[in-house]
Chain A
Amino acid sequence: GNSVTQMEGPVTLSEEAFLTINCTYTATGYPSLFWYVQYPGEGLQLLLKATKADDKGSNKGFEATYRKETTSFHLEKGSVQVSDSAVYFCALANTGNQFYFGTGTSLTVIP
């Protein structure tokens, strides 16, 4: 089956700290992988994506590499800002249009 396992939070970091949020998946076939971000009271916004093995998705200083050998898609950012405080969801999409989400990781960045 398809599933996503995501690092549990909450995560609290100081501004300019390095961020890693772990995400691993199980899937049939060749899924696409995504990171979505949700700010308080809002819907989900696509942060980055990767559609095949070894692809690196990047946006706003965030990066994640599709690692088929370890079935992982860890999210990283070298220097977080207060404005990065949000909930981050790892997700995969396989055939049939359906998305599978991780449980979400809440990030709080303090000045």
Chain B
Amino acid sequence: GAVVSQHPSRVICKSGTSVKIECRSLDFQATTMFWYRQFPKQSLMLMATSNEGSKATYEQGVEKDKFLINHASLTLSTLTVTSAHPEDSSFYICSARDRRTMNTEAFFGQGTRLTVV
């Protein structure tokens, strides 16, 4: 199946700094990528939908100035957590869908464990 690579897998940062997470589709083009946040022992919460070449669509309650999303190409979307605080510590996962096959399946990255100290 298609591969989505997410980097880094783990990051620890100081409170007040910014962290960038990358999500790449390695062998397919993805016009749409999704960013999720997962709290311990809970399900995935959709944060935003990232569309190539346009602004991301954020879910209600997600601060767009806090979580900056850029989808500059058909294979790369980035999530930047700005001025991170300990409450931003979480597991962040991206997913993408292959536009060639119009398959409804989504492919997920490995996730990024963010710890803000």
Contact = CB atoms under 8 A, between A and B. Distances in A.
A and B interact physically: yes
A29 B111 CA distance: 31
Interface size class of B (residues with CB under 8 A): 20 to 34
Instruction: Summarize A's interface: helix, strand, loop or mixed.
Output: strand
Contact of B43 (A34, A41, A93, A101): A101
Contacts, number: 50
A93 B106 contact: yes
B32 A97 contact: yes
A99 B106 contact: yes
A43 B104 contact: no
A97 to B, nearest CB: 5
A104 B111 contact: no
B35 interface: no
Nearest to B99: A97
Interface in B54-113: 93, 95, 97, 104-111, 113
Contacts of A93: 104-106
B46 interface: yes
Nearest to A97: B32
Given A97-B97, A99-B34, A104-B43, A43 B110 contact: yes
A81 interface: no
Contacts of A98: 34, 46, 49
Contacts of B95: 44, 99
A77 interface: no
5 contacts: A42-B110, A44-B95, A45-B108, A49-B105, A99-B106
Interface of B: 1, 6, 32, 34, 41-44, 46, 49, 93, 95, 97, 104-111, 113
Given A41-B111, A101-B43, 9 more contacts: A32-B104, A34-B105, A43-B108, A46-B105, A51-B104, A93-B104, A97-B34, A98-B34, A99-B95
